Structure 1
């Protein structure tokens, strides 16, 4: 493994992160478990950053891809009719709840969000965009411009004029004593103030994640985005829901994360889990909004036949097996077991929604965010056979989001391992 690591470092960029003091190479997978090059097996509770939504070696997805490969057609581009693309678009348009919806397919969440920003700015004739503090929307020039986390912003240069809103910072000194209703009122008042003082008219859109992924699974109280949308509608500002990590029933309370807030956005973006590992992303938006671009458009690889075969099979599996209900049922099993960790000196917060969980690690005594302790828990969990992730504004939030196909035994095993790992690190830190 050291030889492969040396080769990686010689030819890959230094900013391309690798987990663990001794990075692992994944060589096999079945169900919700993975095997590395040394023969170690792991329960996977990060799912390739929430991408392997059904887990590994899923017969329905594999066979759909094999059928497409057998035709000899791997690629044609959107210049030709693609049956699988049309079929998938019909399903997503129906599931979106957006009136007269149309769908455009891309290759990733970054591309999807770029497209949504293009649609909104063209429709409104404005480069002004509202985004959320601590949000993350991709690594491209445009999506970095609406990312509210310094750790993921490489440049202050921007094609957009972005203003950031509150919504997931309940722990800030100004807000921590407030009830949910009081906090929502304060956030809405701030939105009105931003529109009145910091922007010109014709703001293009608000883009927001219902649950902030890279941000450490932080989330606003239910109803915040509904309150925001009332103000946005007064001004004609569009609302884009970034569902790259929250789509397809993962939050349990709705098929889309925004369902928690009781609103239908003008557009929503998706990617990650839809292809169960195959590259697919896209935007579903009101037909008039999608049709509003005036220049030519094409996507070379977006919605290609292989990705569409995988995505159709994946979405059918999610619906046929009601995996949203599985997330709703099993989420509390994990979260209720993790909540007592909040009493430890090294744990600042425990939160979750459906099959998305986060534990924030802090320094004992002072409570300062501790990315070092988060890394220690990551290592301790791996030694016990559990793969999880990290994130958060300060890099101290542990993140767990397994395939939606996990069962009761899987989540109890993972929960207990994570509790043991955090408890071990807490004892060592005192």
Structure 2
């Protein structure tokens, strides 16, 4: 089917608010490693990975075979029955966890559900409905997670099931304190003290949880400095508040330097949420953390129809083993460091680049015009990249941050190929060219 015809049918049958990239949307029909093909036969470097999800790459034989073998036996049973792959996956995750002590894992179908579950556990455990989230955060598309998302463009309703206060991360996009401190660590500590102020002035003092992404994903790949997170953790411990690390985008070696994004800060969270890269595209998410918190759910009997189903857990286990056996974290560090250096070089050559940020293979290029966010430039840049065979994403409060997150199997040669395209695309944008 031609893309134009499929687009018309999409608009007729699906919600008008369902976003599509590009002026002429494309259908991806095949993938192999870090390359994909659309329905018209055009080949692309996949440098967004299905929204930071395809972590091991497309059509990985080991993962495909695990899914196929399980699908041939049984597709579904529910948590009312024992599922071996579910138990094995939970055990594997706990063995890799940065959290100490007895732990448990609860499986769900997505990152939104994982964050919903984590908040449920935290509020039950603490006997409180109060939560602290961050400005610029994004925690999901469900009603509850939209209520703790710190971006108005992702909150269609002001209603929320929780009592939420928003702290300021130490970044110029979200903190009015930016620019008042010469030392970035001083800014980080000052913003951390804002969390103390929130607890003492804007809550009852008995907050259930603080939830944060170590690197804000939809917020534009903005990293929370270790000095900020470590000080926040100290303040939370003073008040008995749980720390939830939203690792939906940062887990499994994506950041290169560590397996979990939170590890760089040296902070030990109470709960970790995950999805996306866990299944490499399969619908699966999970909450992992202190057993006493997860076991606090009341009433004591509960089920999940689809959480941890046999196919998803079999595929996720194969994916996790593939990441570890092939040391994809190391590749993310090496190729990501090289690509970031190339991006920093482009920033020195192109006035439209306001900032390059991120770690590993979770990188962002913020586009500006005379120092102000330029979302039109970001849209034009994406079109120019697509025309030249590279797919990237975007984010940020103003929609002007280009998000780059290829599979962790990507090679240095592919990164160089993409960097050349980025250079051409920036020149095209700055020249005012328009791709049609």
Provide the rounded CA distance (Å) in 2 between the counterparts of 1:125 and 1:393: 33
- Hey, what does 1:174 align to over in structure 2? 177
Instruction: Give the deviation of 1:278 after TM superposition.
Output: 0.8
Aligned CA RMSD, in angstroms, stands at 1.2
Shift of the 17–168 alpha-carbon distance from structure 1 to 2, 3 Å rule, reads farther
Partner SS, residue 428 of structure 1: coil
Aligned residue among 130, 135, 138 for 1:136: 138
Provide the rounded CA distance (Å) in 2 between the counterparts of 1:145 and 1:349: 29
Provide the rounded CA distance (Å) in 2 between the counterparts of 1:185 and 1:352: 20
- Hey, what does 2:81 align to over in structure 1? 80
Does the aligned pair in 1 maintain the 2:111–2:286 contact within 8 Å? yes
Aligned residue among 256, 265, 269 for 2:260: 256
Aligned residue among 326, 348, 358 for 2:354: 348
Aligned residue among 44, 64, 72 for 1:42: 44
Provide the rounded CA distance (Å) in 1 between the counterparts of 2:296 and 2:197: 30
Provide the rounded CA distance (Å) in 2 between the counterparts of 1:360 and 1:423: 15
Which residues in structure 2 correspond to 1:352-371 (within 5 Å)? 352-363=358-369, 365=370, 367-371=371-375
Aligned residue among 297, 303, 306 for 1:301: 306
Partner SS, residue 329 of structure 1: helix
Provide the rounded CA distance (Å) in 2 between the counterparts of 1:41 and 1:182: 47
Post-superposition CA distance 1:262-320 (Å, at most 9, x none): 01100000000111111110100101011001112111011101101110100000111
Partner SS, residue 81 of structure 2: coil
- Hey, what does 1:268 align to over in structure 2? 272
Provide the rounded CA distance (Å) in 2 between the counterparts of 1:184 and 1:368: 23
- Hey, what does 1:205 align to over in structure 2? 209
Further displaced range: 189-198 or 139-148:
189-198
1:332 equivalent to 2:337? Answer: yes
Which residues in structure 2 correspond to 1:313-332 (within 5 Å)? 313-332=318-337
- Hey, what does 2:422 align to over in structure 1? 418
Partner SS, residue 2 of structure 1: helix
1:2 equivalent to 2:8? Answer: no
Provide the rounded CA distance (Å) in 1 between the counterparts of 2:246 and 2:274: 7
Partner SS, residue 13 of structure 1: coil
Does the aligned pair in 2 maintain the 1:170–1:183 contact within 8 Å? no
Does the aligned pair in 2 maintain the 1:33–1:43 contact within 8 Å? yes
* Corresponding pairs, count: 426
Partner SS, residue 332 of structure 2: helix
Aligned residue among 100, 109, 112 for 2:102: 100
Further displaced range: 44-53 or 233-242:
44-53
Instruction: Give the deviation of 1:177 after TM superposition.
Output: 4.6
Partner SS, residue 372 of structure 2: coil
Does the aligned pair in 2 maintain the 1:223–1:260 contact within 8 Å? no
Instruction: Give the deviation of 1:152 after TM superposition.
Output: 0.2
Aligned residue among 104, 111, 114 for 1:112: 114
Post-superposition CA distance 1:120-155 (Å, at most 9, x none): 011111111000110000011110111000010011
Instruction: Give the deviation of 1:168 after TM superposition.
Output: 4.1
- Hey, what does 2:91 align to over in structure 1? 90
Does the aligned pair in 1 maintain the 2:105–2:287 contact within 8 Å? yes
Instruction: Give the deviation of 1:255 after TM superposition.
Output: 0.6
5+ residue gaps, structure 2, are: none
Partner SS, residue 215 of structure 2: coil
Does the aligned pair in 1 maintain the 2:170–2:228 contact within 8 Å? no
Provide the rounded CA distance (Å) in 2 between the counterparts of 1:157 and 1:244: 24
Provide the rounded CA distance (Å) in 2 between the counterparts of 1:417 and 1:177: 37
TM-score, with length taken from structure 2: 0.96
Provide the rounded CA distance (Å) in 2 between the counterparts of 1:324 and 1:26: 26
Provide the rounded CA distance (Å) in 1 between the counterparts of 2:249 and 2:98: 18
Post-superposition CA distance 1:45-96 (Å, at most 9, x none): 001011111111110001111111222x100000000000000000101111
